[in-house]
Amino acid sequence: MSKDKDERKRPQLRLVVNNVEKRSGRPVAGEDDFIALDELILRRHEFRGHFYAGVGRLQEKAYRSLERYLERKGWAYGLDPLHGRLMVIPAGLVCPEAIVPDSSQQDEVLVFAGEDLTGVGLCLSVEMIIPFWSDDDAVMEDALLSAPILPYGMLFLEENRQDGYLDLIYRVALPLYPPAPTVRVLDKLFAVARTELAETLRTLADFSD
């Protein structure tokens, strides 16, 4: 009986969307170099020169291929030149299941092209903070254990630098060699991200009930 009572008192995992003030993969409001998603999208052409300044030839080739791909799809996106050269995409475009009706869409998917771990070619990563959260670390650990086992991507916990609490993060990475990704490769990457994110969100919605 006492155990059941303790479980009822325990903080629950809850859906937290558009909480960019606390749960963001980039620096947040209040920091000097924070740029909101809407502004990144609106000022993309203005930021492009800064984004590509000093970028290596292979990395630039990969990013420009990504830009052409996103423009052909008609997806809004931003270029963040201040935090590791990130492409920032509204989460609802990558995974429509992440859209919550009657709310502004501020959750982000981050895309990054960096040197591959092997030192040969590049690695393209797609990452998103899962919008389920609790201030109880044990609940977050249980959520990770209850989440689906993904065939391509991975889920992991990472301490949020803003408040010290844990975030549950999804990441899928793809080695690029040659470094310019084709349309077929990018179609596959984003299809994997959508499928795995949707499955994760469904599972955690059941877990939080």
Q: Cβ neighbours of residue 14 under 8 Å, at least 6 residues apart?
A: 132, 133, 134, 208
Q: Where are the domains of the chain?
A: 11-208
Q: What's the mean pLDDT when you consider all of the chain?
A: 84
Three-state DSSP state, 118: coil
Q: Residues 192, 184: contact at Cβ < 8 Å? A: no
CATH class of 11-208: alpha beta
Model pLDDT for residues 75-122, shown as the tens digit of each residue: 999 999 988 889 999 999 999 998 876 555 678 999 999 888 887 889
Tokens of 104: 């502004």
Q: What is the pLDDT of residue 190?
A: 97
Nearest by Cα to 156 from 134, 120, 189, 127: 127
Q: Residues 134, 164: contact at Cβ < 8 Å? A: no
Q: Is the pLDDT of residue 162 over 70?
A: yes
Q: Is the pLDDT of residue 29 over 50?
A: no
Q: What is the pLDDT of residue 103?
A: 54
Q: What is the pLDDT of residue 19?
A: 53
Instruction: Work out the average pLDDT over 159-173.
Output: 89
Tell me the pTM: 0.85
